[in-house]
A and B are shown apart, each in its own frame.
Chain A
Amino acid sequence: GENVEQHPSTLSVQEGDSAVIKCTYSDSASNYFPWYKQELGKGPQLIIDIRSNVGEKKDQRIAVTLNKTAKHFSLHITETQPEDSAVYFCAATRGTGNQFYFGTGTSLTVIP
């Protein structure tokens, strides 16, 4: 099955700085890579996703890059704000069987 690794497990940045979270996956057939933000006591919320036919996707301050050859994808948050503080999870799926495999999460703290 798929194995998704996520780094770092914790990340602290100053407000206004950028934050980068990286994930690797093992199954070359995985073709969809979502990123979720989970605030304390809430369910994960999809913030951005990327499909295997795209190398980069951007939505305002958030961007995701995908390197299929190396089997890794990254979340980039620019101009961080305190409200960006949360746990971020990456995931991967190949679609078949509809199983989503999650990384272990990154706790991001943005220091005002």
Chain B
Amino acid sequence: DAMVIQNPRYQVTQFGKPVTLSCSQTLNHNVMYWYQQKSSQAPKLLFHYYDKDFNNEADTPDNFQSRRPNTSFCFLDIRSPGLGDAAMYLCATSRDVDRAGEPYEQYFGPGTRLTVT
């Protein structure tokens, strides 16, 4: 019963060639996140959607864009991948905070391993 699905699991692209990674969820969560994780490092938040509201992290390069056409799907577009963009890209979802302002759990997908040649 996959809840957060990422495709493809492995992606190879050439230096400078645009690439799109996809994420879908069956949880009907209104918040979706994209993280970049390099080897032996913690996940680094790139941006997140609160419903359709896009929230970009201040240090996320302009090279990274995202689209969320509906609740279930979210895409990560890398316009001109560089060698430094090779990493695992993780999608995650969560519900909004509850009435008391308490956050809900965050669920991660299996990730897409991006290789740039």
Q: Report which A residues bind B (CB closer than 8 A).
A: 31-32, 34, 36, 41-46, 49, 51, 89, 91, 93-100, 102-105, 107
Contacts and interface: CB of A to CB of B under 8 A. Distances in A.
B: interface residue count bin:
20 to 34
A94 to B, nearest CB: 8
B105 A46 contact: yes
Contact of A104 (B41, B97, B106): B41
Contacts of A107: 40
Interface of B: 4, 6, 31, 33, 40-43, 45, 48, 50, 55, 90, 92, 94, 96-97, 101-103, 105-111, 113
B50 A98 contact: yes
Contacts of B102: 31-32, 51, 95
Contact of B55 (A41, A46, A95, A97): A97
A68 to B, nearest CB: 15
Which DSSP category, helix, strand, loop or mixed, fits chain A's interface? mixed
Nearest to B42: A102
A6 to B, nearest CB: 8
Given A42-B110, A44-B108, A98 B94 contact: yes
Given A41-B113, A44-B43, A45-B108, A98 B97 contact: yes
Given A41-B113, A98-B31, A105-B40, A93 B103 contact: yes
Contact of B103 (A41, A98, A103): A98
Given A42-B110, A43-B110, A105 B105 contact: no
